[in-house]
């Protein structure tokens, strides 16, 4: 089977969210402690990427088995990868790949449990359980956005702890910033999937709120991330340069206004979703860069 098909079902471009989360953890550590463990960093990137790939593969499998991906209209940001409905891979192969990546990520995490102890064990245990039950229990109970926010926070905190053997408030708050940004992308991606998800018994936050109200609640996500950055700069927890994250404001305004106008149109909403996705990635990248640049300067 073509490698491009597997890269498609793994959703390689969405792995960038986890890459940014690890980068934020590394950059905060470098800024605070002027240390960098290359071996540990490479293993962290590999383990987090494997776990992220696992949740995406298992999500594709369960959405296909439940008929969600067949009932929804696919866009670049929603409706699944389309690999299973198109018959490019078998459900069994996608499920097995998802479990394989879960095992790989767990094995790498287990190494850090042996080296770094109970903190990493707690983070890894949360990751394994959440990944396996994400597409069934977690999403069905309306907790997907919360799970993604916690996941992002734990990636940053775990990365920082592996590098420094410390837990500090800067890493926790930096993790929340990143986690909220990832949660925002998931939140808006569920708008075009609303009808198919609802018809198959799924209970996303957009379904619980309704599309119109959700398009207004949307603004809370960037407000929280930006609010944490500003507050931490004022308190001296983040460098002043972290305010460069505000350079992404035009993207979130464009995406948010477009979402308000087109929340009920699958065809018209896609440009807004793309703007919001780019907002999340650029804000996270600028946030990570701010710690590195501050240290260098």
**Domains contained in the chain, CATH given:** 3-296 (1.10.600)
Residue 50 has pLDDT above 70, yes or no: yes
Q: What residues contact residue 251 under an 8 Å CB cut-off, 6+ apart?
A: 275, 276, 278, 279, 282
Average pLDDT over every residue of 204-232 = 94
State both tokens at 188.
Answer: 């808006």
Average pLDDT over every residue of 72-99 = 82
| Whole-number pLDDT of residue 142 | 78
Alpha-carbon span 169 to 167, nearest angstrom:
7
| Whole-number pLDDT of residue 79 | 63
Read off the pLDDT band of 78 (50, 70, 90).
low
pLDDT in tens, 97-125: 999 999 999 999 999 999 999 999 999 99
CB atoms within 10 A of CB 213: 12
Alpha-carbon span 124 to 282, nearest angstrom:
27
> Which stretch of 78-87, 128-137, 138-147 has the lowest confidence by average pLDDT?
78-87
Read off the pLDDT band of 232 (50, 70, 90).
very high
């Amino acid at each position: 089977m073509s490698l491009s098909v597997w890269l498609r079902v793994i959703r390689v471009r969405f792995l960038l969210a986890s890459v940014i989360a690890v980068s934020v953890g590394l950059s905060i550590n470098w800024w605070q402690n002027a240390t960098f463990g290359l071996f540990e960093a490479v293993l962290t990137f590999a383990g987090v990427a494997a776990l992220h790939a696992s949740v995406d593969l298992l999500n594709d499998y369960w959405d296909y088995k439940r008929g969600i991906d067949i009932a929804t209209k696919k866009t670049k940001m929603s409706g699944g990868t389309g690999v299973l409905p198109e018959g490019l891979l078998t459900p069994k192969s996608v499920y097995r790949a998802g479990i394989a990546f879960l095992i790989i990520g767990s094995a790498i995490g287990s190494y850090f449990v042996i080296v770094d102890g109970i903190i990493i064990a707690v983070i890894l245990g949360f990751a394994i359980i959440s990944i396996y039950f994400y597409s069934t229990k977690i999403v069905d109970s309306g907790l997907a956005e919360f799970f993604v926010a916690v996941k992002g926070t734990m990636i940053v905190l775990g990365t920082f702890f592996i590098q420094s053997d410390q837990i500090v408030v800067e890493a926790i708050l930096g993790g929340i910033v990143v986690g909220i940004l990832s949660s925002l992308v998931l939140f808006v991606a569920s708008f075009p999937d609303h009808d198919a998800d609802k018809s198959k018994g799924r209970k996303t936050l957009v379904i619980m709120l309704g599309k119109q109200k959700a398009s207004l609640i949307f603004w809370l996500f960037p407000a929280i991330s930006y609010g944490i950055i500003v507050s931490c700069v004022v308190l001296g927890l983040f460098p002043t340069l972290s305010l460069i994250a505000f350079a992404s404001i035009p993207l979130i305004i464009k995406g948010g206004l477009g979402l308000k106008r087109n929340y009920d149109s699958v065809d018209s909403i896609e440009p807004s979703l793309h703007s919001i996705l780019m907002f999340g990635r650029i804000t996270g990248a600028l946030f990570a860069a701010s710690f590195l640049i501050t240290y260098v300067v």
